[in-house]
Chains A and B, each alone.
Chain A
Amino acid sequence: MKSSDQRPVAVLGTGIVPFGKFPDVSVPHLARPAVIEALRESGLERSDIESIYCGSALSGMMSGQRIARETGLTGIPIVNCENACSSGATAFREAIAAIGSGLIDYAVVIGVEKLTRLKGGMLPLDEEDIEVANGMMMPALYAMRAQRYLHDHGHTARDLAAVSVKSRKHGAMTPYAQFRETTTLEEVLNSRAIADPLTLLQCCPTGDGAAAVVVGPADATRKGEHTPIRVAGSHLASGRFISGFRDMTVPEITVRCAGELYEESGFGPQDLDVIECHDAFTIAELLYYEALGICDRGEAPKLLHDGVTSLGGKHVVNPSGGMLSKGHPVGASGAAQIVEIVRQLQGRCGERQVADAKVGLTHVTGGGTAGFDHGACCIHLFAR
């Protein structure tokens, strides 16, 4: 069943905690304020909530149950979702499918991750993977995409670094961003080398975070303080195994996922006022401009430099500062994107508010596995 054939679903409440490094805060306590805030915004009673969907990649077993214990929500069905960087968005998709089908009316969706448990360093990948065993790391994968993109289109490292400058400018206006100071091209380019051509300030920081939303039928009587925001489309794709040559500058899983979502929802890239996309590295944001269809191949730096994706532009990308400013607590990021887009469409984002935002999109993808562009990609559309 297509999401467009289902009962319309809306986001009724949102909650998020400041992202950062909180090694002394447990996973349930990290998520608790976000859940309580989302419940309060929704105006629902805890007894109205029929199910919890919790996305996390590295928080251990039953993260949803552990959070429920701290938020008065035990005893109801809980589904824990692991889908790498798409975990939080996948949990959201599962919730709206359950509501859309009529199985339940109200659910809490949580995205949570505590990367400080890993004691620093880069995200661990599965050593059974032959590429990982041969030295692959996530920054390296994106760095090779960047090398090829610059090579094919004649762009420069300064084009990449400009993404971080834009991100930090937006992040400086976001109360829950981890990095809230602006930066310059020179600072980005002169920061420590990680994987050529990517420097430290072109890589999302590690960190902890949580976000939550309450979802329910779009036609339900409004009980919350903010306008419910309709979920206009939901799509999940998994990677296609390709063992031969592939163009690394075309993220096929995102192209396919977005294309199918546009076809299903009736919306297109021209409709997108605001986007939160998977900017885990600077090159990623540029490639996703093209993959999401807001510009042609090779044109992403021009779009960025022309201000189209900055606040005040036609397609504002990552007004929250994205992963480059917030950090990327893997399972939390998808839910955090949804909180930002819903609040943008509600007109609640203060100085980083996208003027008259009517349609927004969230996009996460991830999972480094040999033979795949990525393992999973989950995209949602929202409209008011």
Chain B
Amino acid sequence: MYATTSNTPAPADVGVWLSAEHVMPLDDGHYALRAMRCRHCSQVVFPASDICPFCLSEDCAALPLHGSANLYSATKLHNGPKRWVVPYAIGYADFANGVRLFAKLSAAESREGPWRMDHPVRLVVVREAAAGEQPERFRYFLDEAAS
């Protein structure tokens, strides 16, 4: 069902669905999330918007989010919204281009135990092909960095 950017299966209930405008195809066939950098005030924002929310400039450049990032903080939740399967983990990851991304992690814990701060993780973008009246759509999560 899914064409993913890795061999890691998407967590069953991973969060929000994004439309195609929020991703950028990469040369290797995978996808990046579309963030933006304002050419006027240099602020970076995800998700990208048509207007910079800081200075209202419309002169914004697309900024791809993909690959490795630094896990700033994370937690394993044992309670969650009713539609979420617990336990699950969420965290913030910092990309070298200045964007901090909040996302679900691929599992409640990493292979070595609790997710470790200041360790690398990688962004995985998952594509679901169009089906009937449902256009293609995307979601994302953070996974362990390739060893």
Contact = CB atoms under 8 A, between A and B. Distances in A.
B117 interface: yes
Contacts of B44: 243-244
Contact of A137 (B15, B79, B91, B99): B79
A144 B103 CA distance: 13
A138 to B, nearest CB: 11
A244 B35 CA distance: 11
A148 B75 contact: no
B127 interface: no
A245 B100 contact: yes
Contact of A147 (B79, B82, B117): B117
Interface stretch (B23-31, B46-54, B128-136): B46-54
A136 B42 CA distance: 28
Interface string A28-64: 0000000000000000000000000000000000000
Contacts of A130: 16, 47, 102
Contacts of B100: 243-246
Nearest to B22: A130
Nearest to B90: A135
Given A131-B102, A134-B104, A144-B91, A151 B16 contact: no
A144 B16 contact: no
A255 B75 CA distance: 25
A147 B99 CA distance: 20
Given A140-B90, A241-B53, A243-B45, A135 B75 contact: no
Contact of B80 (A135, A151, A197, A370): A135
B74 A192 contact: no
B145 interface: no
A135 B88 contact: yes
Contacts of A197: 75
Given A135-B15, A194-B79, A196-B75, A244 B84 contact: no
Contact of B78 (A145, A193, A241, A244): A193
B117 A151 contact: yes
A148 B16 contact: no
Interface in B68-105: 72-82, 84, 88, 90-92, 94, 98-100, 102-104
Interface of A: 121-122, 130-131, 133-137, 139-140, 143-145, 147-148, 151, 192-197, 241, 243-246, 248, 370
Interface of B: 14-16, 43-47, 53-54, 72-82, 84, 88, 90-92, 94, 98-100, 102-104, 114, 117-118
Ranked 6 nearest A-B pairs via Cβ: A134-B15, A143-B75, A133-B16, A144-B73, A148-B73, A193-B78
